Structure formats: structure tokens, C-alpha cells
């Protein structure tokens, strides 16, 4: 095939770069200056191809990228699995909280890497993610789980876009399934009183009174230390929380350390061991089971900062609640004396019989027992926080005060946590009755 050739003595206009065939190496060459490097020198890109058509396509692509401001960044080409792994292991932990990163890792390693990881970052399209979401739904996963995967991918690709690895965040264009918000029914006054009565018969029962009256989050309440209580002003400062974190290996060979605990075969059907879906067998290079490592570190119950700046707040305690906390302090002193040398002094307000902080899972188990004892319908422990917020609505507390007490950073949280209860409906009905009929 005859090669096209520019007439002798002519050249491309300024700014158009150069495109030519070299008899020396047998390649077509395209050279375009697309900008300026960090050191001030011209950023001149050079591609060469045996085929003239391919070379011209690359040449036009460089010109278009330069003109559109989407010049590809120099460096390695990323596949989706490599970028997601790098992002979740090295970038996300720098700014995200521990539990957020745990959620990211579940979405990345369980769903995104197996589902779309083989694509190149610059070639993946929104429909690739939408097909993954459809497969997840067909497999029986809840829309909320799919949304978590979608949010994780969107965040990871936003960082890639910010760094110039991709030109656009294609996940932002993908459609995720709709999630119907769960209807929350806060506890009615009679139920609250019954739960409090049952709670005060148990050690640490005042912890549940704080949840129902002030809306303390589980980690916040379990993380209280006596130093947070100001007896003179009758206030309680919220600054820290308790959180269970995964242990980390302290050994050199992570796979060999957990060899004894690797799951090699699927569970029998039916499985008598697991109440939740059975975990799959461990991969050949499994590095889990760090809780069994003799040199384990960094896990267990860990004291962390509260969720946000708005979460750092101070409650002024009702007199009745302050009195309950003082009586609880006396009971804890008796428990300390009874435990003797077995007591682990950590300054915690709510403790196990040996002075150690309470595990969140055990705390939730006690909550379920209290509901059953008080003959109250099953409810999440977090519903106590919804109940406290709704009581503040019922009392007509100023929204700014409600936000401060609950530790909210945006007013939109009021819509999520404050609910119209039967008591509120009855109050409105009474006001309407007085307005329309009492006057007559």
C-alpha cells in the first residue's frame, strides 16, 4: 500500500505537532506537545506504530485530549482490581474511619474485584457496574448491600478522577437500585418506662436509661469514663467511644500462622454450625485468623474518637438520671471490692464484673433480654436513639438544641430520627378539637 507523504518543503501548522514516517526504523511517528511538566519543560508525547492508520488515530487522540484538557497522565496503566486494592489499602485509611474502611474492603474484595476487576480503568463503562448490580440482586442480596458497593466504587473512582487516572467517574453515571427506607417505630412512653424498670434491676442498667433519655449511641455509652462526669454541674461529656476492631498479625508468615484455622471445605448442607450464611472456604493465600496469632496486636475493644465534631457534646443531666448514675457508682465500688485483685481498673463507667469495658455484642444481648422481660416488641438498640429524638420533638425542644444533644451535623438528620408517634397524633387531635369545637 502506498504511503501518504507531505509535499516537500511543507510542515504542520504551529501547535499541531508532527506526524511522519521514518525509513530508519520503519515506524510512523506522532509527536505532540500537550502541556508543561512539573519542572517547566514541555510535556511532549511520542507514539509510534507500524500501521499508518493506527498511528494517525493515536495522533488525533493526543490532539483532542490536549484541546479538551483531558491529557492522559504519564505513569502506569491501572486495571480496576489493582486500583481498588491500592485505594482501599493505602488511600482510604488515611481519612476514613475504621468501620468505614471495613465496609469498603468488604465491597471491594467480595464484590467489585471479582465482578469488574479485570477491566482497565479507562475502558470500563457504567453498564459494567449496572450488570454487576443486577447479578447481586439476582443472587438474593438486598438493595442496601448493592448501594454500599455502588457508593464504595463511586468514592474510589472519584479519587482516581481527582488524580488524573481516569477522565470521568463512570460510577457516578451508573444507576443503582432504589432502597426503600426502613420504617422506624420509636418506643411509646409506656414501653420506655417498662424497659427502664427492667434495666434498673440489672448491673449497668442506667446505661440503657441514658440511651432512651439522651439518645447516646452504643459506642458512646459503653465508652464513658468517670472523668467525663462533672458532679458539680451535673453534666456528662461525650468525647470517646468503644469500638471492636479486628486483630492484626504480628508474625512474619501470615498464611502459616493461621494454617490450623483455615477453612478448606464448604459447610455441609444443612449446616448446624452457622446461623448466618456459611462463610466460603479460605483462599490458598489466606492471611486471616489474626485473632489466633500469638503476636496479635491492634484489635479487640478500642477507644476511639466520636464520629464527628458535632458528636463531641455535653449533656446536662436530669436530676433523676444524675441520681441513678450516682447510685450506679456506689454499686460499681462494691463490685470493685468484691473482685479484689481480679479487677482491671480502666476508669470505665460501665464494666464487666472484672472492670473491663463491655463488649457491644454482649450489650446488645442484654438489650434484647430487657425487651423480652418488659414484654416490649423486639427493637434494635439504635431504636432507643430514635425514641430519644422523638421525645424531644414531642416536648417541643428547639431544633438547634435537639441537634446539639443528639450530635447531628445537619438538620436533615431530624427527618430520619424524629417520628410522628401515637402520642403526637393524639396531641394534634386534641388541639384540633379545641380549635374547632370547644370555642363553639
pLDDT in tens, 82-108: 999 999 999 999 999 999 999 999 999
* 400 and 339 fall within a common domain: yes
* 193 and 335 fall within a common domain: yes
Q: Count Cα atoms within 13 angstroms, Cβ side, for 223.
A: 21
More confident residue, 334 or 435: 334
Strands (E), 166-275: 229-230, 235-238, 240-245
* 26 and 85 fall within a common domain: no
Note the pLDDT of residue 60.
86
114 located within any domain: yes
Structural domain containing residue 396: 189-244+306-417
What CA–CA distance (Å, rounded) separates 180 from 169?
26
Note the pLDDT of residue 210.
96
What CA–CA distance (Å, rounded) separates 151 from 149?
6
Q: Taking 50 as the threshold, does the pLDDT of residue 1 lie above it?
A: no
pLDDT band at residue 307 using 50, 70 and 90 as cut-offs: confident
Number of structural domains (the chain) is 3
**What is the average per-residue pLDDT within 74-89?**
88
Can the peptide bond before residue 270 be classed as cis, meaning omega within 30 degrees of 0? yes
Q: CATH no. for residue 166?
A: 1.10.150.130
* 85 and 155 fall within a common domain: yes
Q: Count Cα atoms within 13 angstroms, Cβ side, for 408.
A: 20
Residue 131 CB neighbour total at 10 angstroms: 14
Note the pLDDT of residue 117.
95
- How far lies 155's CA from each of 59, 101, 104, 152, 177, in Å? 33, 12, 10, 5, 17
Q: Taking 50 as the threshold, does the pLDDT of residue 379 lie above it?
A: yes
230-233 own/partner pairs: CB under 8 Å, 24+ apart: 231/326, 233/316
Strands (E), 212-309: 229-230, 235-238, 240-245, 300-305
422 located within any domain: no
292 located within any domain: no
**Short-list 330, 406, 387, 426, CA closest to 195:** 387
284 located within any domain: no
Query: Last residue of some domain: 30, 47, 68?
Result: 68
- How far lies 136's CA from each of 88, 128, 177, 277, 318, in Å? 21, 13, 11, 15, 49
pLDDT in tens, 105-153: 999 999 999 999 999 998 899 999 999 999 999 999 999 999 999 999 9
pLDDT in tens, 227-277: 999 999 999 999 999 999 989 899 989 889 988 888 888 888 888 888 777
Catalytic (active-site) positions: 217, 248, 382, 385, 408, 417
67-73 own/partner pairs: CB under 8 Å, 24+ apart: 70/167, 71/34, 71/35, 71/43, 72/122, 72/164, 73/163, 73/164, 73/165
What CA–CA distance (Å, rounded) separates 293 from 249?
6
pLDDT in tens, 417-427: 888 777 778 88
* 156 and 195 fall within a common domain: no
Q: Between the ranges 64-78, 171-185, 341-355, where is the mean pLDDT highest?
A: 341-355
> In this structure, are residues 342 and 276 in contact, taking their beta carbons and an 8 Å threshold?
no
* 42 and 122 fall within a common domain: no
* 317 and 375 fall within a common domain: yes
**Short-list 163, 169, 158, 152, CA closest to 112:** 152
pLDDT in tens, 268-293: 888 888 877 788 888 888 888 998 99
What CA–CA distance (Å, rounded) separates 112 from 129?
9
Note the pLDDT of residue 11.
53
* 227 and 166 fall within a common domain: no
Enumerate residues 6+ apart whose C-beta is below 8 A from 161: 167, 168, 169
* 153 and 204 fall within a common domain: no
Identify the weakest region by mean pLDDT among 7-21, 200-214, 236-250. Answer: 7-21
Which residues sit opposite 286 in a β-bridge? none
What CA–CA distance (Å, rounded) separates 286 from 184?
40
382 located within any domain: yes
Identify the weakest region by mean pLDDT among 31-35, 179-183, 189-193, 392-396. Answer: 179-183
Q: Taking all residues of the chain, what is their mean pLDDT, rounded to a whole number?
A: 89
431 located within any domain: no
pLDDT band at residue 73 using 50, 70 and 90 as cut-offs: low
- φ/ψ (deg, to 5) at 241: -145, 160
Q: CATH no. for residue 217?
A: 1.10.443.10
Query: Last residue of some domain: 7, 40, 68?
Result: 68
Q: Taking 70 as the threshold, does the pLDDT of residue 8 lie above it?
A: no
* 337 and 233 fall within a common domain: yes
Note the pLDDT of residue 170.
95
Strands (E), 221-346: 229-230, 235-238, 240-245, 300-305, 313-316
What CA–CA distance (Å, rounded) separates 141 from 82?
25
Q: Count Cα atoms within 13 angstroms, Cβ side, for 179.
A: 15
Query: Last residue of some domain: 29, 46, 68?
Result: 68
Identify the weakest region by mean pLDDT among 150-164, 251-265, 311-325, 332-346. Answer: 251-265
More confident residue, 219 or 14: 219
296 located within any domain: no
Burial 144-168 (b: 16+ CB within 10 A, else e): ebbebbbebbbbbbebbbeeebbbe
* 317 and 212 fall within a common domain: yes
* 169 and 204 fall within a common domain: no
Amino acid at each position: 500500500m502506498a504511503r501518504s507523504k507531505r509535499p516537500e518543503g511543507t510542515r504542520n501548522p504551529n501547535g499541531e505537532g508532527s506526524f511522519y514516517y521514518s525509513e530508519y526504523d520503519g515506524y510512523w511517528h506522532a509527536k505532540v506537545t500537550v502541556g508543561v511538566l512539573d519542572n517547566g519543560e514541555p510535556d511532549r508525547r511520542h507514539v509510534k506504530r507500524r500501521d499508518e492508520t493506527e498511528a494517525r488515530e493515536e495522533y488525533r487522540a493526543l490532539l483532542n485530549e490536549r484541546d479538551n484538557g483531558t491529557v492522559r497522565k504519564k505513569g502506569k496503566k491501572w486495571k480496576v482490581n489493582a486500583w481498588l486494592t491500592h485505594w482501599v489499602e493505602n488511600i482510604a485509611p488515611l481519612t476514613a474511619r475504621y468501620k468505614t474502611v471495613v465496609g469498603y474492603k468488604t465491597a471491594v474484595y467480595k464484590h467489585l474485584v471479582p465482578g469488574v476487576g479485570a477491566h482497565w480503568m479507562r475502558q470500563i463503562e457504567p453498564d459494567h457496574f449496572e450488570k454487576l448490580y443486577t447479578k447481586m440482586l439476582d443472587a438474593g442480596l438486598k438493595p442496601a448491600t448493592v448501594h454500599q458497593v455502588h457508593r464504595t466504587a463511586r468514592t474510589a473512582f472519584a479519587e482516581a478522577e481527582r488524580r488524573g487516572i481516569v477522565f470521568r467517574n463512570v460510577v457516578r453515571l451508573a444507576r443503582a437500585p432504589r432502597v426503600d427506607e426502613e420504617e422506624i417505630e420509636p418506643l411509646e412512653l409506656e414501653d420506655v418506662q417498662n424497659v427502664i424498670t427492667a434495666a434498673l434491676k440489672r448491673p449497668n442498667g442506667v446505661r440503657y436509661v441514658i440511651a432512651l433519655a439522651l439518645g447516646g449511641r452504643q459506642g458512646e455509652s459503653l465508652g464513658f469514663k468517670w472523668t467525663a462526669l462533672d458532679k458539680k454541674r451535673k453534666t456528662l461529656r461525650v468525647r470517646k467511644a468503644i469500638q471492636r476492631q479486628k486483630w492484626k498479625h504480628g508474625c512474619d508468615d501470615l498464611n502459616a500462622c493461621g494454617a490450623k484455622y483455615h477453612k478448606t471445605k464448604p459447610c455441609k448442607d444443612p449446616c448446624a454450625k452457622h446461623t448466618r450464611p456459611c462463610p466460603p472456604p479460605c483462599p490458598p493465600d489466606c492471611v486471616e485468623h489474626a485473632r489466633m496469632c500469638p503476636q496479635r496486636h491492634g484489635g479487640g475493644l478500642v477507644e476511639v474518637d466520636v464520629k464527628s465534631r458535632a458528636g463531641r457534646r455535653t449533656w446536662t443531666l436530669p436530676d433523676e438520671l444524675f441520681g441513678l448514675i450516682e447510685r450506679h457508682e456506689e454499686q460499681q465500688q462494691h463490685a470493685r471490692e468484691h473482685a479484689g485483685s481480679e479487677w482491671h481498673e480502666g476508669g470505665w463507667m460501665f464494666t464487666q464484673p472484672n472492670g473491663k469495658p463491655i463488649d457491644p455484642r454482649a450489650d446488645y444481648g442484654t438489650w434484647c433480654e430487657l425487651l423480652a422481660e418488659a414484654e416490649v416488641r423486639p427493637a434494635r438498640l439504635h431504636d432507643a436513639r430514635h425514641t430519644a429524638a422523638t421525645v424531644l420533638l414531642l416536648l417541643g425542644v428547639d431544633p438547634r438544641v435537639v441537634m446539639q444533644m443528639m450530635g447531628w451535623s445537619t438538620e436533615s438528620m431530624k427527618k430520619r430520627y424524629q417520628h410522628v408517634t401515637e402520642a403526637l397524633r393524639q396531641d394534634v387531635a386534641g388541639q384540633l378539637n379545641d380549635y374547632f369545637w370547644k370555642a363553639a
